[in-house]
Amino acid sequence: MTKKRSTIAQLALASSCLWLAACSSTPPPPDWQMNAKSSLDRATNAWLSGDDRVEATEFARARSELARTGRAELVARAELTRCATRVASLVFEACTGFDALALDAGAEERAYARYLEGAALPADAALLPAQHRAAAQAISAPAIASIGDPLGVLVAAGVALRRGQADPAIATLAVEKASQQGWRRPLLAWLKIQLTAAETAGNTADADSLRRRIDLVSKPP
């Protein structure tokens, strides 16, 4: 975000020189920062992998660590991170955790919340994380691919679908990114989008192939 680091980076303020003897005078980061980042990372990966139980446990732990600071904006960013994983997985629901903290969040956080809802305003683009600005202004597979970060790509693709602007190229990009990361939940969601498109077009061969792939991802060994 403008003048701020990204949500997860904001929670990881530890300097890389922390581990170097030459930087021994640098004070270590508070425990809450490291604990919150670790738990938020685990919660994110658990959700994308399809493990609701671990996700709920780790997110509660991350939120508790952030709440210790009394800084609502930090908790709000964590809630937005959680909502972003939902959008990445095509679970379009209200971001109630953030909504409860919106009054104490900054303009950047509120802009990102609108972006996730597929309701970004023209002025919001400049307030979004830098990697999302191009995709917010001109939704296309190349613009989304330029984000680079796999989760960011899936979030932008989910926003495009939520706005009714996800073309086959965006769906293919989302499937590739989810597959590369082994993220079962968004992969299944996007494969089902492709399956619906194949069935609608009467493309039996592609539909059959997609069903087999969905079956492979869905069923544990």
The three-state DSSP-derived secondary structure of 50-84 is CCHHHHHHHHHHHHHHHHCCCCHHHHHHHHHHHHH
Which of these, 158, 161, 182, lies nearest to 84 by C-alpha position?
158
Each residue of 164-211: pLDDT tens digit? 999 999 999 999 999 999 999 999 999 999 999 999 999 999 999 999
pLDDT of res. 221: 59
pLDDT of res. 11: 40
pLDDT of res. 7: 44
pLDDT at 13 over 50: no
CB 43 within 8 A of CB 82: yes
Query: Taking each helix axis from N to C terminus, what angle separates 184-201 and 31-49, rounded to the nearest 10 degrees?
Result: 30
Non-local (6+) Cβ contacts of 69 within 8 A are 32
CA 221 to chain CA mean position, Å = 28
pTM of the entire predicted model: 0.84
pLDDT at 75 over 90: yes
pLDDT of res. 51: 95
Select the more confidently predicted residue: 22 or 154. Answer: 154
CA-only gyration radius of the chain, Å:
19
How big is the CA angle at 85 (ends 212 and 187), to the nearest 5 degrees? 10
Ordered DSSP codes for 150-206? HHHHHHHHHHHHHTT---HHHHHHHHHHHHHHT-HHHHHHHHHHHHHHHHHHT-HHH
pLDDT of res. 217: 95
Q: Which pLDDT band holds residue 99 (cuts at 50, 70, 90)?
A: very high
In this structure, the chain runs to a length of 221
Q: Can you say whether residue 105 is alpha, beta or left, with left for phi > 0 and alpha for psi between -120 and 50 degrees?
A: beta
- Average pLDDT, rounded, for the chain: 88
